Amino acid sequence: MLEALLGKKLGMTQVFAPDGTVTSVTVLQGGPCVVLQVRTKERDGYRALQLGLDDRREKNATKAAIGHAKKAKTAPKRFIREVAWAGDALPEAGSVLTCEALKDVPKVDVIGISKGRGFTGGMKKWRFKGGGAAHGSKHHRKPGSVGQHTFPNRVFPYKKMAGHHGATRFTVRNLRVVAIQPDVSRILVYGGVPGPAGGYVVIRRAVGHRARGGKAGA
């Protein structure tokens, strides 16, 4: 059974229930993914699938990527990830998986790369309170004290300070699947998902909703 699928964030909107309740949803493109390679117990020591999403033109692909895709009789891909597979019958390389594979999944985890925020101050990055805005405070968005005096005479490692923020891998867990539309390869999930519209994501069966016997970890 498929544990995760590759997808793309398409954007957000809202959806009405018949009683007028509004659900905010993220529209995800889920697949269709091509199986590029199969990891077997015999050869690799574990079972998994290497999936690819979205073709990359051969002109822009490396020869290694073209050769690798050729083994699965497909074009080189833009987004390649390995996903877990629970159960025995592994699909062959070159076969295509669609969002239908996640049909009965009530909840998913979505993994994506968050939007990059560049070099960010402590208030935004670590939710520091900052200082007063007026009354001559002169301490508006500063971080404040970063340590003690002659002892220890240094700033401790990992002190929360300003720096690069965002553009890291994030997982949002247990998002309710609102709808799956196999005809257009779309999955609607409740709530937000990391990254910009158009960003690639991994849509994974939520850890708490895994099939029994399936190995954890994508």
Partner 1 sequence: MIPRAIQETEAPFLRKKVPEFRVGDTVDVHVRIEEIKAKGEKKQRIQIFSGDVIARKHGGVRETFTVRRIVQGEGVERIFPLHSPVIDKIDVRKRGKVRRAKLFYLRELTGRAGKLKERRGARTGAETPVAAPEAVPAAPEGSPEGATPPTKGAPKTEKVAT
Is residue 20 at the binding interface for partner 1, with CB under 8 A as the rule?
yes
Annotate each residue in 27-66 with x if it binds partner 1 (CB under 8 A) or - if it does not, as one string: x-x-------------------------------------
Instruction: Name the minimum Å distance from CB 112 to partner 1.
Output: 16
Residue with the two structure tokens 């500063």:
142
Nearer to partner 1, 25 or 97 (CB): 25
Stretch of residues binding partner 1 (CB under 8 A), selected from 20-28, 72-80, 104-112, 115-123 = 20-28
Q: Of the candidates 2, 51, 188, 203, which one interacts with partner 1 according to CB under 8 A?
A: 188
Three-state SS at 99:
helix
Q: Of the candidates 89, 134, 184, 216, which one interacts with partner 1 according to CB under 8 A?
A: 184
Q: Of the candidates 2, 5, 6, 25, which one interacts with partner 1 according to CB under 8 A?
A: 25
CA gap 102, 180 in Å, rounded: 8
Does residue 203 contact residue 108 with C-beta atoms inside 8 Å?
yes
Does residue 190 contact residue 175 with C-beta atoms inside 8 Å?
yes
Is residue 11 at the binding interface for partner 1, with CB under 8 A as the rule?
yes
Amino acid type, 149: H
Phi, psi of 153 (to 5 degrees): 60, 25
Nearest to 182 by CA among 104, 84, 114, 69: 104
Instruction: Name the minimum Å distance from CB 173 to partner 1.
Output: 23
Nearer to partner 1, 23 or 120 (CB): 23
Does residue 46 contact residue 38 with C-beta atoms inside 8 Å?
no
CA gap 146, 162 in Å, rounded: 12
Three-state SS at 37:
strand
Instruction: Name the minimum Å distance from CB 10 to partner 1.
Output: 4
Is residue 189 at the binding interface for partner 1, with CB under 8 A as the rule?
no
Nearest to 156 by CA among 164, 167, 148, 144: 148
Alpha-carbon torsion (99, 102, 107, 109), positive or negative: negative
Q: Of the candidates 19, 42, 88, 92, which one interacts with partner 1 according to CB under 8 A?
A: 19
Both tokens of residue 121? 């101050």
Stretch of residues binding partner 1 (CB under 8 A), selected from 6-14, 38-46, 125-133, 135-143 = 6-14
Q: Of the candidates 197, 208, 211, 215, which one interacts with partner 1 according to CB under 8 A?
A: 197
Q: Which residues bind partner 1 (CB under 8 A)?
A: 10-20, 22, 25, 27, 29, 184, 186, 188, 197
